[in-house]
Structure 1
Amino acid sequence: MKKLSIIMLVLVLAMSSVFAGATREKSDVGSAGVAGDGQHYVFRIAATDEAWRPNAIIEAARRLNAQLAAEGSKDTVEVEWELVDDFKNSFPLWIQEKNLPEMIAHKQSIIYKYAQAGYIVDAGYVVNDATYTEKVPKNLRDFGLMDGKYYGIVCDTEARFVIVYKPALLALGWTEDQIAAWRQSAIEGKVTTADLQKLAKQAVDKGITQYGITTRPNNGADWAFFYCTWSGGKTPQNEKGQNIVSRQAVIDALTFYRTNVQMGITPYNMLTDFNWDMLEGDIWPNGKSFCWYGIVAAKGDCMNASGVSSEYFDENFISLPTPVHKVGDTPCCGSSPYLWALTTASQKDAKTAEYCRRILDNVLDLDLQLIISLDHAHIAITTESANSEAYRADKWMQAVNDFVPFMFKYQVSPLKEGLQDMYADSKEYFNAVQEAMLKANDPTARSVEAIADDFIKQAIFNMGEGNYVIVD
């Protein structure tokens, strides 16, 4: 099936005549030209309109020119940004015209698809070079692993965890030292979801907060990342790329949501009558919820929506790795990273391959990393940036970096539907999750066991036969 899928993809690409959603930002040059006694290399980085990514590559290439000159080389390098609206349309046209950009920036589902078809190369020679091994933690370097090969190179990433309104803990009689110790216990896997529920209940019952535990108001990737909590903190996927479906884990997850409603700490209409403006503009920044399952960008989102200051957010909110289901489980913080990827065009000759590697090495320079991470609410991917004065000055970002050891991503699968497809790109899956959560939030609805069974039927139907293993 895998070979057939790849063959079909190649045939479709070869025959494709679709229009690409891409525009070139500079010239149409894409090869080496003579520059004095050296060569002038023009590379392309294909990326979306989030300009900080291609701009970092462009600046890294400028720095490479200075390095080459210092080494006595007369070669020069230039990188152009090709703005892409839709990679699914652009890629086939690049292939048809034999005009691939040397580099792209995207998430792993697109990268893996074209790696399978032979157009993305293993960038292990970059990820395993001295610069990356020295500067980037291994679990973040491994974000680019697919089928045991580094088809991706970590560019930037976020993390999902629990955000707690600190004044509520103080109002419950906690001291600053107790709060710090509690957070450390969560990092050690000693704070459970039941512990979180009890505290949220106390805050609501005492009138300290209106709500106890809240979530995003609509379907999305968050549920899938937090689902790992009910799988012992482990990614539910085996070495073959098959999705591990645990009926008990689904039941436990849905039971958590239903129990929250029954305890009076989560509104039953959380997913129907709430919206982002209510949450980010009022409920969360104004301390009306004891905690919520959120993301590292929540600080900036709340600041933009409500007008609170950075100092206010740092003072009043603390980050907590997702509480475990049972003591002994591993805390988990899900992530959906952006990756750099090298196409076959980056390997057209030895110098092109070398200069692409050196450009990507230069992207790890501290000032460029601070733009990518700190300025855009992403986790610091290098130890140097995490320890920098600028990053540490942002108390929120500094604290969140404690969770780097627990960060994970779902792996793409060589099968019909991998976890990345199911959890990041599938509208059908999102709808199934939304339906299950809506029913779980209604205590008068069917049992969570029946809801779980219905959900699993929909999920495995979307995955396809042979792409999952039911373990209980």
Structure 2
Amino acid sequence: MTIRSTMLAAAALVALGTAAPAPLSAEEITLKVWTRADRSGPLRGGNIITAAEQLNRMLAAAGSDLQVKIDLFENNAKGFDADALDLMKAFAVDKGPDLYVAAHEWIGAFVEAGYALNLEDHIKANPEFYSDMIPSLWKSVEYKGARYGIPQDTEVRMFFYDKEMLRKIGKSEEFIEGLPGMVERGEFTIYDMTDLAKEVVDAGVAKYGIVHRPNVGPDFQMLMASFGFDPYDEEKGKLQASAKALNAFYDWLKYSVDAGVIPANMTSWSWDSVHASFRTERTAFIKFHGIWNVPAQMKARGLKGPEDYFRAIGWTHSPAAEKGGKPANLSHPIIYVVSPKSKYPELAAYLIGLASQPYLNTLHAVSTGHLPIKYSQLGMPEFVNEGWALRAAAPMLKYTTFMPNHAKVGQFNAIIYKGIQAVETGRLDPKEATSFVLDELESELGDEVILLD
């Protein structure tokens, strides 16, 4: 009997409550799992172990002596990029795992190297695992039109805005609570957001209109998306940069700095200063960052629950640059991947399906501040009672974007950030910054980037 038929028999027997027949086999299969030792996701590997335990109970109920053992390796790499490079080295010397955890943007590199299995057939054959996956998340595991991974978790990065400041400048509750809807309908642009922030600053209610991360990172992609900047050619699997869209983004940055909304020295701030400006000191009207900020915001402001929180703080996507445009936010999913070099790729994929069930994924998500990956998780008690902020943010995934599934996206982001620094400090005007960045992209990334316009 094949492994798949044994698993199906086990599942059927458990579902029907049928008495187990005589043992079918006596065998132990060991699967190697690679994950990063990460406090933000201890159950990424742990849920695979739990899934194996569940499968072993199903196999025992089917009368099989077959057991699956997990050999879990937790790499101590400082970040997902370093971890991916370590994983590449392991595969290169035939010491790669059967399945592994990775940041989604590395999937293209793993596919090209022959280390990621096409999971289209597996996904279609197991709708009980994947039919209620939030559809937008599938984009994060696609490479050249096919899915090579399963989303393990996600988050959302958006604009946080201080509602109390809007009340102090006389804005109505209808306006304050309706702002996210206006953004979603394309009625309120990113220039309108700057003008609103200027009202707050000019009234003396805030010292800073908008604050952002003070270093290189993916957060700026959602703002660039507001100007039609698409950093990835999916068909060719290459990075791309539009001169027109990049110039428009830098134009907005200059407009916001000149208006006294974004500090000219923003890129020299410390992270502590950025967080304090919105949390404790409350000198900033808007901060754009991630959903995981909510607990710290509540603690700093003494907020007791969802009603308190949403009375004080609102969320919105990055607004479109023009009326009628589409807003955007950013997500950074971590994913499961199966190695095509595994002796048991079907079994590895099946374990990922089990680990992706609503109960197990919810244990991970609620305990680490991540959004659900499936609609069915939204009604689970843990999300309703403990993960209310995550549950509230899930609908925002409709407008989410992802970093390109390209190994050099970090370098790409670093070059664009040089332009952000240059514009905000006044060292270069938007046109000069655009020209500089495009030259740098071409010089450093060569054939890996397509320059448009």
TM-score tier, shorter chain, comes to 0.7 to 0.9
| Partner residue in 2 for 1:378 | 370
Cα distance in 2 between the residues matched to 1:181 and 1:384: 28
Partner of 2:10: none
Q: Percent identity?
A: 18
Shift in CA distance, 37/330, structure 1 to aligned 2, threshold 3 Å:
same
Look up the equivalent residue of 1:435 and give its one-letter code. Answer: K
Give the whole-Å Cα distance in 1 for the aligned partners of 2:102 and 2:324.
Answer: 35
Change (3 A) 1:470 1:360: same
The structural deviation recorded for 1:464 is 0.9
What residue identity is the alignment partner of 2:56? N
Instruction: Please tell me whether the aligned partners of residues 168 and 203 of structure 1 are also in contact (alpha carbons under 8 angstroms).
Output: yes
Q: Conserved in 2, the CA contact under 8 Å of 1:217 and 1:270?
A: yes
Q: What residue is the counterpart of 1:73 in the other structure?
A: 64
Structure 1 456/204 Cα, relative in aligned 2: closer, same or farther at 3 Å?
A: same
Indicate the residue corresponding to 1:417 in structure 2.
none
Distance in 1 (CA, whole Å) between partners of 2:244 and 2:87 is 42
Q: Which TM-score applies when normalising by structure 1?
A: 0.81
**CA distance in structure 2 between the partners assigned to 1:223 and 1:161 by the alignment:** 10
How big is the shift at 1:192?
Answer: 0.7
Matches within 5 A, 1:167-316: 167-231=164-228, 234=230, 236-237=232-233, 239-272=235-268, 274-300=269-295, 302=297, 306=300, 308=302, 311=305, 313-316=309-312
Q: Which residue of 2 aligns with 1:358?
A: 350
Shift of 1:197: 1.0
Q: Which amino acid aligns with 1:464?
A: G
Partner of 1:55: 46
Q: Is the 8 A contact 1:68 1:76 kept in 2?
A: yes
Q: 1:334 aligns with which of 322, 330, 337?
A: 330
Find the counterpart in structure 2 of residue 441 from structure 1. Answer: 424
Q: Distance in 1 between matches of 2:313 and 2:241?
A: 35
Q: Which residue of 1 aligns with 2:25?
A: 37
Following TM superposition, by how much is the alpha carbon of 1:223 offset from its aligned partner in structure 2, in angstroms?
Answer: 2.0
Change (3 A) 1:242 1:69: same
Secondary structure of the residue aligned to 1:114 is: helix
Counterpart secondary structure, 1:319: strand
Q: Distance in 1 between matches of 2:373 and 2:96?
A: 28
CA contact (8 A) 2:211 2:262 kept: yes
Q: Distance in 2 between matches of 1:465 and 1:359?
A: 38
What does residue 7 of structure 2 align with? none
2-side partners of 1:301 and 1:255: how far apart?
Answer: 33
Pair 1:75–1:139, CA change in 2 (3 A): same
Q: What is the CA distance between 1:395 and its match in structure 2?
A: 3.8
In 2, the alpha carbon distance for the partners of 1:430 and 1:281 equals: 25
Deviation at 1:310, TM superposition (A): 6.2
Contact 1:314 1:395 in 2 (8 A): no
Relative to the length of structure 2, the TM-score reads 0.84
Cα 1:142/1:238, change in 2 over 3 Å: closer
Three-state SS of the structure 2 residue aligned to 1:375 is helix
Q: Is the 8 A contact 1:228 1:236 kept in 2?
A: no
Give the secondary-structure state (helix, strand or coil) at the position aligned to 2:337: strand
One-letter code aligned to 1:53: R
Question: What displacement does 1:199 show?
Answer: 1.2
8 Å contact from structure 2 (residues 231, 241) kept in 1: no
Aligned length: 418
Render the CA deviation track for 1:292-327: whole Å, top value 9, x for unaligned.
2211222245468x5855636454222101111112
Q: Which runs of 5+ in 1 are unaligned?
A: 1-34, 413-419
Counterpart Cα distance in 1 of 2:312 and 2:249? 28
- Whether the 8 Å contact between 2:210 and 2:262 is mirrored in structure 1 is yes
- How far residue 231 of structure 1 moved from its aligned partner, in angstroms, is 0.9
- SS of structure 1 residue aligned to 2:356: coil
